[in-house]
């Protein structure tokens, strides 16, 4: 029977120096890797992801030059015309529905003024992608926007049809946006809506750490493009439109936007790819939400909600609905209430999030104690 013996290996000074260099290199590689953070902006369509992305371009990137802003002029024109057309069509359709069903409130959506009816007819003939705003067109839109039946449709029934959140803002800019010298300002740029197709990437530095931010389309047909981005993600920033609780999806007029966001968050939060990924929840469009609550009860979407039109109670309730979707007791959801069109608000929130991300990354790399 043989006896096994172990031989003690003595390293030469050169080998010890080499091993020390390797250890130092591994530590340095870990340190560098911990300083590069991959962030995904996810969420359902119309949640405000692209507005947040534009804000990051302004805050950390090169911003928007005069030439960049000029490129948004036709987008502002298209958004304004398209929004007015949607509002006018909805007014007519809801009014007819009210007459057929005997619903006096819906019937009040029908425009009665002959001058306004003529203006509507003219606006509906426009092609949003081809026709620029003119003084004459904006004049007709101003007449339409003052009509009590149109305002009734907008104020009490906008949840029944798809209308961009920026509609009221651009209707308030009709005296400016048609002028030949008009160049969109930053607020116009932030509110101008172009549906994201494909994937946008932006890189920036914060406290000596590199962040790679990805913005992807939120509509259902765009989500299949997300999948290859799921590897090595430092944090998911999931964006929800607080004001979407009474609105329908652009791509499916039968589905409530808040219900869709809850379903999608449930799916994203519990994916196996994201077991160790920081999950940041942005409850966005707080300004629109606060404005809408007294007019449209949150119980319309959540029948069990009993908090009335108190902003804090309503926000807390929605936050709890999303955080309850997390099935991993070791995962923490970092929730922030945001307004993506407010640069100061975005700056404060993003700085806080980035500090959390940096700390968690250093902990996972073994470079910082819990």
Predicted local confidence at residue 277, as pLDDT: 86
Which of 217, 195, 196, 180 has the alpha carbon at shortest distance from 73?
180
Two structure tokens written together for 256: 């409530």
Residue burial 20-58, b: 16+ Cβ < 10 Å; e: rest:
eeeeeeeeeeeeeebbebbbbbbbbbbbbbbbbbbbbbb
CA distance 328 to 58: 35
Cβ neighbours of residue 170 under 8 Å, at least 6 residues apart? 76, 79, 80, 83, 177, 191
Task: Return the higher-pLDDT residue of 52 and 233.
Answer: 52
Report CA dihedral (11, 12, 17, 20) to the nearest 10 degrees. 0
For 222-235, the pLDDT digits (tens) are: 555 555 566 788 88
Detail the DSSP E strand segments found in the chain.
Answer: 36-42, 199-206, 209-216, 235-241, 278-284, 333-337
Q: What is the DSSP letter of 133?
A: P
Catalytic site residues?
Answer: 46, 51, 193, 215, 219
d(CA 308, CA 302): 11
Of 45 and 149, the structure prediction assigns the larger pLDDT to 149
Question: Which structure tokens are listed for 249?
Answer: 């999806």
C-alpha closest to that of 219 among 284, 168, 162, 275? 162
State which H helix or E strand residue 355 sits in: helix 343-364
Residue 136 has pLDDT above 60, yes or no: yes
| Residue 221 backbone zone (phi > 0: left; psi -120 to 50: alpha; other: beta) | alpha
Question: What pLDDT score was predicted for residue 226?
Answer: 59
Higher-confidence residue: 110 or 219? Answer: 110
Pick the more confident residue, 16 or 160: 160
> Model-level pTM?
0.82
Work out the pLDDT band at 364, boundaries 50, 70, 90.
low
């Amino acid at each position: 029977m043989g006896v096994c013996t172990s031989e003690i290996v003595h390293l030469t000074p050169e080998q010890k120096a080499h091993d020390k260099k390797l250890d130092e290199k591994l530590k340095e590689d870990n340190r560098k890797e911990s300083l590069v953070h991959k962030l995904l902006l996810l969420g359902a369509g119309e949640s405000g992801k692209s507005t947040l992305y534009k804000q990051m371009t302004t805050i950390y990137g090169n911003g928007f030059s005069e030439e960049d802003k000029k490129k948004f002029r036709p987008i502002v024109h298209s958004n304004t015309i398209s929004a007015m057309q949607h509002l006018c069509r909805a007014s007519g359709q809801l009014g007819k529905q009210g007459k057929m069903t005997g619903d006096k409130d819906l019937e009040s959506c029908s425009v009665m003024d002959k001058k306004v009816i003529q203006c509507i007819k003219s606006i509906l003939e426009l092609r949003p992608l081809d026709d620029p705003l003119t003084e004459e067109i904006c004049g007709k839109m101003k007449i339409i926007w003052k009509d009590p039946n149109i305002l009734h449709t907008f104020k009490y029934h906008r949840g029944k049809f798809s209308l961009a959140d920026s509609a009221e803002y651009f209707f308030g800019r009709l005296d400016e946006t048609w002028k030949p010298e008009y160049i969109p300002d930053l607020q116009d740029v932030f509110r101008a809506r172009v549906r994201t197709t494909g994937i946008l990437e932006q890189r920036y530095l914060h406290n000596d750490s590199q962040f790679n931010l990805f913005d992807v389309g939120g509509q259902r047909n765009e989500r299949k493009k997300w999948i290859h981005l799921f590897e090595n993600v430092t944090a998911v920033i999931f964006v929800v439109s607080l004001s979407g609780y009474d609105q329908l999806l652009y791509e499916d007029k039968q589905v409530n936007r808040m219900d869709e966001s809850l379903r999608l968050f449930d799916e994203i939060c519990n994916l196996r790819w994201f077991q160790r990924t920081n999950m940041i929840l942005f409850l966005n469009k707080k300004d629109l939400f606060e404005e809408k609550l007294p007019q449209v009860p949150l119980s319309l979407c959540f029948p069990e909600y009993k908090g009335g039109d108190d902003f804090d109670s309503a926000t807390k309730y929605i936050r709890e609905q999303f955080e309850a979707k997390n099935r991993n007791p070791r995962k923490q959801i970092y929730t922030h209430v945001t307004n993506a069109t407010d640069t100061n608000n975005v700056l404060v929130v993003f700085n806080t999030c980035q500090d959390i991300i940096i700390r968690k990354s250093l902990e996972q790399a073994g470079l910082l104690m819990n």
